[in-house]
Amino acid sequence: MSASFATSIKRFAASPAGLIVLGTLIRIPQLWHGLNEMHSFRQTQTAFVALEYARHGIDLMHTPLPVFGPHSDVPMDFPLVQAMAAVMIRLGAGAASAERAIGLLGFQVTAILLAVLVSRWHGRCAMLVVLALFEFSPFALAWGASALIEFPALALTLGMVVGLDSWFRNGSLLGLLCGLPAGWLAFLVKATTPPAWCVLVVISAATAFVTTRSWMRSVVGLLPAGIGGLAAAFGWARYGDAIKERNPLTVFLVSRYMNAWNFGTIKQRLDPLAYGNASARIAVEIAGPVGFGIVLAVCGIMLAPKGIERVRRAGWLVTAVVAPLIFFNLYYVHSYYLIAIFPALVAAVGLGIVAVAQRSRADTARRAVILTAIVAVGTAVPYNVLQWLVPPQPDAGGRRIQAATRPDDLIVVVGCDWNPLTLFDADRRGLMLTNYANVDVWTRENINDYHYIYSCDQNLKVTDYLPRDHTVKPTSEPGLWQIAPR
């Protein structure tokens, strides 16, 4: 009886459902981690909006981010993920935990859709290897339950690919009706995620056409997906720009000023060394050890038994390459942008592992397990593993502000660059002034509404950020001053 039960457990653990359940369980403790970790600026920016929604009502046409003033509206990505987290906050969850839970939900929906597509295109063995890499690689352990919108956006993007693939292959009306809205929402929620994945949509249409010879299916699937997605992204960007233009502190976030930040400059693209950042991160954090996974992916393409299989295998790798080439500077600056291509990379690597393992008819499964373990262990950079295992310490500045101020006090924050972490951890609204904000903020904001100023940089002269007729008085907390008229 016990032996039979143990066998059942082993079989379940090696099944797709078992891998997903185990991958969820090992991330549950992370849901109670704070957000003072890698890329805290982006995580707290997301969670802050969710917290404001929970307290003041959900309005998807407005994005409250109270670091540009207590009533600032800063539409960037369509705030669907934040609204979902706000519902959980209203039910009693903490802001960080709620946003992490929605992130984990997006991660596992992505896992399911990735498993469906890989199984459909490449078979069950490939699906199990890819799913294992997706769930248990250190990069996924670090970011799978993060307070980011990346994995929910990926879930929508994979929903687009899987749904449209069903339409192209079988004429599934349900696939079309699910795939198109999922794609449009993906372009709204995170416009930088779905463009590269359109490579797989095109490959799906092309390979299905070889069998179906149906131009109608291709046109009906491709045109609405591409045109509708771009229209949604540009329409939302235009709407958001009109709002951000009204606040001098958010003008720098308007699209026309963000082109170089998003896409990079020509000079940057012509510099061979500029390609090193993203390439090194991929080779070390995802396709390791030291790019060994990329070698396996290329081997998988070369060992493909027929043309359609080769095109599909290559499509995963091309998807992973296209995204950094489009949004060049974003991938150069921020490692978390690799989340958008992480499923494509692990799919390419996993297919390579299976192809190499199948070259030997004996012990194919054992060889696949060994190669999968080599890739997973070989990418175990310490900071990713520690982010998963170790709860971060709260932000010291946030705790100081919280200890010395009242919940309704508005705080001016300087010297923290662009990072809402301090105000988020303090649970205070306020005004975050960066060193590069060359605007006269006090023509818009009333200085008398702000009672304190906090500096993350103790060398800054905080009075330089205040009107000339105001000064500061020290408090008991380092870095925190009380604002007072002269």
State pLDDT tens for residues 174-202.
Answer: 999 999 999 999 999 999 999 999 999 99
Average pLDDT rounded to a whole number, residues 478-485: 94
pLDDT score recorded for residue 438: 55
Mean pLDDT of the chain: 94
* pLDDT(14) > 80: no
Among 42-51, 221-230, 359-368, the minimum mean pLDDT is found in 359-368
The reported pLDDT for the residue numbered 62 is 96
Question: Which pLDDT does position 262 carry in this prediction?
Answer: 95
- Whether the pLDDT of residue 102 is over 80: the answer is yes
443 or 67: which leads in pLDDT:
67
Between 89 and 217, where is the model more confident?
Answer: 89
Task: Tell me which residue of 292, 298, 308, 311 sits closest to 348, measured CA to CA.
Answer: 298
Q: How much is the pTM? A: 0.95
Q: What is the pLDDT of residues 16-64, one digit of tens each?
A: 999 999 999 999 999 999 999 999 999 999 999 999 999 999 999 999 9
> What confidence tens digit (pLDDT) does each residue in 385-394 have?
999 999 999 9
pLDDT over 90 at 66, yes or no: yes
In the predicted structure, residue 2 carries a pLDDT above the cut 70? no
Confidence at residue 29, expressed as pLDDT on a 0 to 100 scale:
97
